Structure 1
Amino acid sequence: MSDLTLKQLAQQMRGIDLCMLATHTSYGHIAQRPMSNNGEVEYEGTSYFFTWKASRMVEDIERDAKVSLGFQGKEGLFVAVEGKATVTEHRPTMAPHWTPDLDQWFKEGLDTPGVCMIRVDAVRIAYWQRGEEGEIKL
């Protein structure tokens, strides 16, 4: 059993751009989607993603806020995050998390009609790397 701190794990996660975000559908299934995690962000247990307010993912989250995130990093690092998601369309809350890379999907930036942000606050983080594993509870 490994005993990494959140700060140590965050260092190892730095640079991971994509993760899989899983929600619970209205039919009781689990749906996963690749989402950009903006790998340059300093991870402190909260993740931010931009999407469309009218998406099925947002509908799933508004019905059941329990989500999971799956990351795969360098040197055999795997990270599973269980968390609670919230959705906001409040521009001042979204602005600090916006990066120019998002303009490829949202042509008018934060002023794009229908854009929203998903915030995932981690509750539990499990990780595995080269035979070592551990868990961080937040």
Structure 2
Amino acid sequence: MSTRTLSELSKKMQKIDIAMLSTHTDHGNIGGRPMSNNGEVEYDGTSYYFTWDESRTVKDIEKDNKVSLAFQGEKAFLVAVEGKAKLVRDRKAMEKHWTPDLDRWFKDGLDTPGVVMIQVDATRIHYWDGEDDGEVKL
């Protein structure tokens, strides 16, 4: 088992925009949905995603904040993240992570009613890079 640093993984993750965010949902099921990291590619163990406050994702996180993220890059490079999600509704905090591309989904930007940010703080990161795999210690 290899041991890469978080910085080394971050460099390999720079071209990955979409992650699959999975939550624990009703009756012990797992719910997954694709989420954009909004171009924040300097991964430091924390990632941010925007969604609707009334979404199933938010309801799942309110019940159980343990989530997972799955990233797929080039040439069999994959990253699995286990973490804890936090719902952020503070406008100042959301402004730091907002990009104009999000206006496609939220037509009034941060003034769109019902926008919420999901912050995921990693607790465990496992990666596969071809035949090389390992875990990043946080």
Name stretches of at least 5 consecutive residues in structure 2 with no aligned partner: none
Amino acid of the structure 1 residue aligned with 2:127 = Y
Deviation for aligned residue 1:15: 1.6
What is the match of residue 7 of structure 2? 7
Note if 1:60 corresponds to 2:42.
Answer: no
In 1, distance between residues paired with 2:29 and 2:127? Answer: 24
Q: Which SS does the other structure have where 1:27 is aligned?
A: helix
Asked whether the equivalents of residues 18 and 34 of structure 1 are also in contact (C-alpha less than 8 Å), the reply is yes
Asked whether the equivalents of residues 16 and 38 of structure 1 are also in contact (C-alpha less than 8 Å), the reply is no
Deviation for aligned residue 1:40: 4.2
In 2, distance between residues paired with 1:74 and 1:81? Answer: 17
* Cα deviation digits, residues 9-57 of structure 1 (max 9, x gap): 0000002010100000022100000000134431100010000000010
In 1, distance between residues paired with 2:39 and 2:15? Answer: 4
In 1, distance between residues paired with 2:46 and 2:102? Answer: 19
Root-mean-square deviation (CA, aligned residues, Å) is: 0.8
Amino acid of the structure 2 residue aligned with 1:137 = K
What is the match of residue 104 of structure 1? 104
Between the aligned residues of both structures, percent identity stands at 62
In 1, distance between residues paired with 2:27 and 2:112? Answer: 30
What is the match of residue 71 of structure 1? 71
Deviation for aligned residue 1:84: 0.1
TM-score, length of structure 1 as denominator length:
0.97
* Cα deviation digits, residues 72-92 of structure 1 (max 9, x gap): 001210000000000011100
In 1, distance between residues paired with 2:18 and 2:78? Answer: 12
Name stretches of at least 5 consecutive residues in structure 1 with no aligned partner: none
Alignment of 1:1-138 (within 5 A): 1-138=1-138
**Displaced runs of 4 or more, over 4 A:** none
In 2, distance between residues paired with 1:48 and 1:56? Answer: 17
TM-score, length of structure 2 as denominator length:
0.97
Q: Using the TM superposition, name which of 2-11 and 31-40 deviates more.
A: 31-40
